[in-house]
Amino acid sequence: MLSTKQRNGVQQNLLAWYEKEGRDHLPWRQTDNIYHVYLSEIMLQQTQVSRVMDEYYPRFLKRFPDLKALSEATLEEVFSCWSGLGYYRRAKNLHATSQLTTPTLPDTMKELLELPGIGKYTASAICSFGYNQSVSVVDTNIARVLGRLYAKETPKDKELWEIADSFLNHVEARSHNLALMDLGSMICTPKNPTCKSCPFEEECLGKNEPELYSQKKKTLYIDKTLYYGIFQRDDKVAMYRSESGMYKDMLELKELDAKAEGELLGTFKHAYTKYRLEVYVYKIDMEGDKAVWIDKEKFAEAPISSLTTKALGLLNG
């Protein structure tokens, strides 16, 4: 454990490092607009910073500049604007949250946690980065930094949040949290951390064996094989609205029970959450019930998953 004096010193070093090296230029750090902060946090959950900053964040804000505009849109419109980002459940949760919280999001952890798709990390990020409250934040980057700083081998989430609470700089909590996040992303990386450039170098208890203190929980994957059929008429493809599961309300190709007799267009591998999929795509000659015909030119705007996009890509050879 660090003494109070050591902890205060480390906190100051961290802030000095952040002032020089931190990513303060990111647009969602330059605003106190809660909707902007919230949107960035949801987008960043599964997508790289550069893609969010350059493409999706400005595009989404242009189309839905505030919670009210988002709440008044149809889910289809939101999916269309989300197209290419994947994990469409995020878009659905954003839309549902906007309808519950217009004109603005609540400012307590308790209320935020009751909203769709907002877990402890996102709630704390909104409170810290958006409302400038003195609360700790733990994401995977911060967890790794704190785990190494305090030499905790595979700590449980509860322990990491307790460490983050005790390590929090209450005077400058927002900058402290952002600095820890950047430190984990830029210096204290999963492999080969550059300890020589780290503001914690002197006090870090795990610096001699950093790999030991950043072990990730092993993901147990489930292997599955899926078969899809593409039924085409002129320049249109038959798609079907999913009524349940991960892709509920989105458009999918016809799922087949087994390999089809028709022409095999191709196969590919795809992974999402805990599933590792092997996908076979066939050209078929049957139209199922309730087909929605989508023009090939409009695939990019349709609410379709990245899996379906890959399958449709086989149409072009």
How many binding residues for ligand SF4 (CB under 6 A)? 14
Main-chain phi, psi angles of 294, to 5 degrees: -115, 125
Distance of closest approach, residue 122 Cβ to ligand SF4, in angstroms: 24
**Which residues 6+ apart lie within 8 Å of 314 measured at CB?**
230, 265, 266, 268, 281
**Using the rule CB under 6 A, is 78 a contact of ligand SF4?**
no
Nearer to ligand SF4, 36 or 207 (CB): 207
Nearer to ligand SF4, 151 or 277 (CB): 151
Question: Contacts with ligand SF4 in 178-197 (CB under 6 A)?
Answer: 187-188, 193, 195
Q: How many CB atoms lie under 10 A from the CB of residue 24?
A: 13
Burial label for 236, CB within 10 Å (0-12, 13-18, 19+), is middle
Q: At what angle do helices 34-44 and 89-101 cross, to 10 degrees?
A: 160
| Residues 262/229, Cβ–Cβ less than 8 Å | yes
Residue 269 Cα to chain centre, angstroms: 21
Judged by CB under 6 A, which of 123, 145, 260, 279 binds ligand SF4?
145
Alpha carbon separation from 10 to 110, 180, 186, 204, 230 (Å, rounded): 31, 11, 18, 9, 59
**Using the rule CB under 6 A, is 198 a contact of ligand SF4?**
yes
Question: Contacts with ligand SF4 in 203-232 (CB under 6 A)?
Answer: 204, 206-207, 210
The CA-based dihedral angle spanning residues 88, 91, 96, 102, taken in that order and rounded to the nearest 10 degrees: 180
Judged by CB under 6 A, which of 135, 149, 251, 312 binds ligand SF4?
149
User: Which position among 41, 153, 252, 301 bears the catalytic label?
Assistant: 41
Nearer to ligand SF4, 143 or 145 (CB): 145
Stretch that binds ligand SF4, among 94-102, 174-182, 198-206, 252-260 (CB under 6 A): 198-206
Nearer to ligand SF4, 92 or 148 (CB): 148
Stretch that binds ligand SF4, among 68-76, 141-149, 160-168, 169-177 (CB under 6 A): 141-149
| Cα separation of the two ends of the chain | 60
278 is catalytic: no
Nearer to ligand SF4, 10 or 302 (CB): 10
Alpha carbon separation from 246 to 9, 11, 82, 93, 230 (Å, rounded): 47, 42, 16, 12, 21
* Nearest C-alpha neighbor of 80 from the set 306, 307, 303: 303
| Residues 231/238, Cβ–Cβ less than 8 Å | yes
Distance of closest approach, residue 24 Cβ to ligand SF4, in angstroms: 20
Judged by CB under 6 A, which of 36, 148, 176, 254 binds ligand SF4?
148
Cα 43 to Cα 64: distance, rounded to the nearest angstrom: 14
Distance of closest approach, residue 192 Cβ to ligand SF4, in angstroms: 10
The CA-based dihedral angle spanning residues 25, 143, 40, 174, taken in that order and rounded to the nearest 10 degrees: -60
**Using the rule CB under 6 A, is 22 a contact of ligand SF4?**
no
**Using the rule CB under 6 A, is 142 a contact of ligand SF4?**
no
**Using the rule CB under 6 A, is 10 a contact of ligand SF4?**
no
Active-site annotation, residues: 41
| Site residues (vs ligand SF4, CB under 6 A) | 145, 148-149, 187-188, 193, 195, 198, 200-201, 204, 206-207, 210
